[in-house]
């Protein structure tokens, strides 16, 4: 495990504010890390001594709390931030209307009926249907993967509750059982599904998250169970012991509700029509406080914009912050933002998203999708090294900018990156960056009652503000775009 090294502010500034070497006639333009060293030093210095970002995050999480789409809390959070942004004098502060799903959890209860009664800790999966009145009581069938489920067939599954006691193989692999598991079980006649929480560490804490129903299959109730209970079910299965569960979930889906993306800018001084956008998703699940996921990111991007304005730095292009709505159970905010751009997608120079918690930041991952290519440029927009000239040139440019952040040990640029809300932009050719952290504990808290402010280190929030501020400002101000846009017509609006 890497240990964070405290860097005194004076040292960080010394590493970032040193004057660039003077250019001589006929020399090529100096690299961006020389050209922007002073501006980056000012942004880092302001971020690392900032207190307003922490005040904002504290208010958002403590006073307002969790912010599920369709809830009064999300709209209260939007109204509060709108007023604060206007008071700070940011440009073009406005709400972009979005209709969002309105799922309500309702009361939840689950228990082992036999062989010995006891309560189960559960969290209903987002967008799931509830149980019939009176709940569901049935024996369970335990599976460790989809192959085992299919091997049981309808004869082994029909009328039962499927328990996915799957191993932790990282979020990307394990979460597929939450997303698709209920419908896969329903196709074989299951009456409900219980899914091991997508985490590698648990203290009897269930993790919620959205499922995706297959519209060709019946919709069955589904909930997450703790790692401890998933392991217990697995051991009981290995011992050949039958287990009966009673499940009652009050979930229901209401009519779509009005919400909004919240947008603020510093208007570009020379090329205001060209945009660098950065942000996070403002909604959260209806448990915990949405501190790491994704309140801290929204506050970090917003505070970075505010500090840049307070420093009197006005970039060549427009630097925009968007607090996207409805990432958790619908992605309506990201789609609405892309739709609002239409055919002007070529004016978006870069998109930066932070949605991996606010542990100690280490840098950015970079993705570039070519919508003309069959595979879009490989996994997460990272083509094989050396195979894409546009990608390699942009990657080298980002490494120059990364050097501006070496003083706070956050200058790493990795291949592959982006995010769910900027995904629609990236699929039409906009370069995308995702802020990276050490990622040591994020999935311990992810989508749980434990995602609260006490898990956030204020120093890491300040580092995130610095990263977003430096990267956003330099990309918006650099003489050349990070990547030249595709020819007109190659990136059509959705």
Quick: pLDDT tens for 63-75: 999 999 999 999 9
3-state secondary structure of 128: coil
Where in the sequence is the domain holding 87, given as residue range(s)? 9-102+256-477
β pairing state of 244-249 and 108-114: antiparallel
- The total number of structural domains that make up the chain: 2
pLDDT of residue 376: 61
CATH number at residue 163: 3.50.30.30
Do residues 179 and 282 share a domain?
no
Is-catalytic flag, 169?
no
User: Do 95 and 113 belong together in one domain?
Assistant: no
* Residue of 181, 248, 186, 271 whose CA lies nearest to 220: 186
Kindly compute the dihedral angle of the four CA atoms of residues 460, 463, 467, 473, in this order, to the nearest 10 degrees: 130
Under 8 Å CB-to-CB from 374, ≥6 apart: which residues? none
> In the chain, what is the straight-line distance between the N-terminal and C-terminal CA atoms, in Å?
43
Is residue 485 a part of any domain in this protein?
no
The 3-state DSSP class for residue 494 equals coil
Instruction: Count CB-CB contacts under 10 A for residue 484.
Output: 11
Does residue 318 sit in the same domain as residue 282? Answer: yes
**Minimal CA–CA distance to 481: which of 273, 201, 308?**
273
**What is the predicted pLDDT for the residue at 9?**
43
Mention every residue, 6+ apart, whose C-beta is less than 8 A from residue 259. Answer: 69, 70, 74, 75, 78, 97, 98, 99, 100, 283, 325, 326, 332, 333
Regarding whether 383 and 318 lie in a shared domain, the answer is yes
Whole-structure pTM value:
0.92
- Alpha helix ranges (H) inside 372-457: 389-403, 423-426, 442-445
Which residues in the chain land under pLDDT 70?
Answer: 1-27, 374-379, 488-494
- Structure confidence at residue 3 (pLDDT): 38
Say yes or no: 303 and 231 in one domain: no
**Choice among 75, 327, 328, 359 that is catalytic:** 327
């Amino acid at each position: 495990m890497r240990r964070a090294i405290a860097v005194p502010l004076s040292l960080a500034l010394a590493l970032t504010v040193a004057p660039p070497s003077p250019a001589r006639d006929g020399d090529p333009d100096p690299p961006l890390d020389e050209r922007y060293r002073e501006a980056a030093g000012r942004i880092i210095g302001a971020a690392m001594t900032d207190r307003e970002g922490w005040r904002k995050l504290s208010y958002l999480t403590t006073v307002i709390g969790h912010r599920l789409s369709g809830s009064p809390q999300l709209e209260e959070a939007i109204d509060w931030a709108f007023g604060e942004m206007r008071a700070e004098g940011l440009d073009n502060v406005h709400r972009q209307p979005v209709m969002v799903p309105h799922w309500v959890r309702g009361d939840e209860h689950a228990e082992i009926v036999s062989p010995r009664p006891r309560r189960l800790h559960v969290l209903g999966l987002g967008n799931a249907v509830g149980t019939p009145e009176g709940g569901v009581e049935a024996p369970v069938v335990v599976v460790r993967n989809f192959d085992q489920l299919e091997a049981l067939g309808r004869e082994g599954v029909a009328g039962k509750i499927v328990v996915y006691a799957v191993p932790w193989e990282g979020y990307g692999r394990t979460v597929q059982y939450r997303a698709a598991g209920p419908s896969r079980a329903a196709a074989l006649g299951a009456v409900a599904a219980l899914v091991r929480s997508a985490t590698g560490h648990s203290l009897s804490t269930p993790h919620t998250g959205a499922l995706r129903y297959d519209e060709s299959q019946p919709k069955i109730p589904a909930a997450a169970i703790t790692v401890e209970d998933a392991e217990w079910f697995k051991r009981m299965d290995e011992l050949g012991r039958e287990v009966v569960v009673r499940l009652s979930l009050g979930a229901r889906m209401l009519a779509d509700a009005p919400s909004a993306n919240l947008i603020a800018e510093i208007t570009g001084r020379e090329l205001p029509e060209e945009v660098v956008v950065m942000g996070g998703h403002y909604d959260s699940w209806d448990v915990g406080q949405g501190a790491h996921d994704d309140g801290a990111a929204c506050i970090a991007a917003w505070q970075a914009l505010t500090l840049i304005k307070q420093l009197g730095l006005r970039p060549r292009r427009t630097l925009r912050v968007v607090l996207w709505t409805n990432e958790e159970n619908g992605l309506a905010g990201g789609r609405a933002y892309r739709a609002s751009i239409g055919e002007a997608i070529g004016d978006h120079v870069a998109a930066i998203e932070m949605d991996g918690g606010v542990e100690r930041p280490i840098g950015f991952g970079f993705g570039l999708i070519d919508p003309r290519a069959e595979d879009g440029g490989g996994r997460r927009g990272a083509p094989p090294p050396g195979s894409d000239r546009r990608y390699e040139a942009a990657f080298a440019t980002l490494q120059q900018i990364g050097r501006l952040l070496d003083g706070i040990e956050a200058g790493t640029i990795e291949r592959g990156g982006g995010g769910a809300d900027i995904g629609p932009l990236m699929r039409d050719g906009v370069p995308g960056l995702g802020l990276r952290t050490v990622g040591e504990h994020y999935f311990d808290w992810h989508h749980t009652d434990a995602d609260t402010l006490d898990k956030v280190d204020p120093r890491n929030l300040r580092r995130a503000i610095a990263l977003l501020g430096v990267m956003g400002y330099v990309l918006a101000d650099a003489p050349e775009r990070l990547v030249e846009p595709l020819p007109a017509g190659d990136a059509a609006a959705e």
